[in-house]
A and B are shown apart, each in its own frame.
Chain A
Amino acid sequence: RKEVEQDPGPFNVPEGATVAFNCTYSNSASQSFFWYRQDCRKEPKLLMSVYSSGNEDGRFTAQLNRASQYISLLIRDSKLSDSATYLCVVNGGNPSGSARQLTFGSGTQLTVLP
């Protein structure tokens, strides 16, 4: 089983649609969770952290379910500029305390169509 697993997509949605991405992780000791966004041929950039209570940033909502080891990202009222690959990222929860060890999923590709 992959450490971090995402549906690769692609997701093709019309402008204004709501789209949700899911991600599962295998290490129950994982401590921190993030969504990164990577535009075509560019570097990944932090989109938002994911907190246990769920968090929202404008049109973006992130949820964490520790029991199911599952993270989600919801994008409402999608814009053309949301087209990118969305990477689920999990802190490895290494018992030796390596908080630097982030594990990236393969990414989910989103295309928002006019």
Chain B
Amino acid sequence: ETGVTQTPRHLVMGMTNKKSLKCEQHLGHNAMYWYKQSAKKPLELMFVYNFKEQTENNSVPSRFSPECPNSSHLFLHLHTLQPEDSALYLCASSQEGGTKYFGAGTRLSVL
């Protein structure tokens, strides 16, 4: 266990559903991240939160909506997704500039 917990591990949703991914870190880190990993593609950084404030949004479509209520929890709210959004969504945390520790990911399938 890396100290970063993601739930659910697997999610299947229809294009009209609304769901949320959850990430929790127990490492006392001040930065949290959402990444998307599609097959045969590099990890793509989606969002960065530093001390609960969103500091980066890498041109992510608005159907992905992050929320960071405190420095230990990070959510990714999903609505009206497309089949091409099917991927592994990884949460990570770090001290600023430090090593990133990843959660096990949520494998998302959009039907």
Instruction: Enumerate chain A interface residues (CB-CB to B < 8 A).
Output: 2, 4, 8, 41-46, 87, 98-107
Contacts and interface: CB of A to CB of B under 8 A. Distances in A.
24 contacts: A8-B40, A41-B107, A42-B105, A43-B90, A43-B102, A43-B103, A43-B104, A43-B105, A44-B43, A44-B90, A44-B102, A98-B55, A99-B97, A100-B31, A100-B33, A100-B97, A101-B56, A103-B42, A104-B42, A105-B42, A106-B40, A106-B41, A106-B42, A107-B42
A45 B102 contact: yes
Interface in B96-110: 96-97, 99-100, 102-105, 107
A45 B107 CA distance: 17
Contacts of B33: 100
Interface string B42-75: 1101001010000110000000000000000000
A4 B43 contact: no
Interface residues of B, number: 23
Among B31, B43, B103, the one with the most A-chain Cβ atoms within 10 Å of its Cβ is: B43
A100 B2 contact: no
Contacts of B105: 42-43
B94 interface: yes
Contacts of B40: 8, 106
Nearest to A87: B43
Given A99-B96, A100-B31, A43 B45 contact: no
Contacts of B96: 99-100
Contact of B50 (A2, A100, A106): A100
Contact of A45 (B2, B42, B55, B94): B2
Nearest to B6: A43
Nearest to B50: A100
A42 B31 CA distance: 21
A110 B104 CA distance: 20
The 3 closest A-B pairs by CB, nearest first: A99-B97, A43-B102, A104-B43
B15 to A, nearest CB: 25
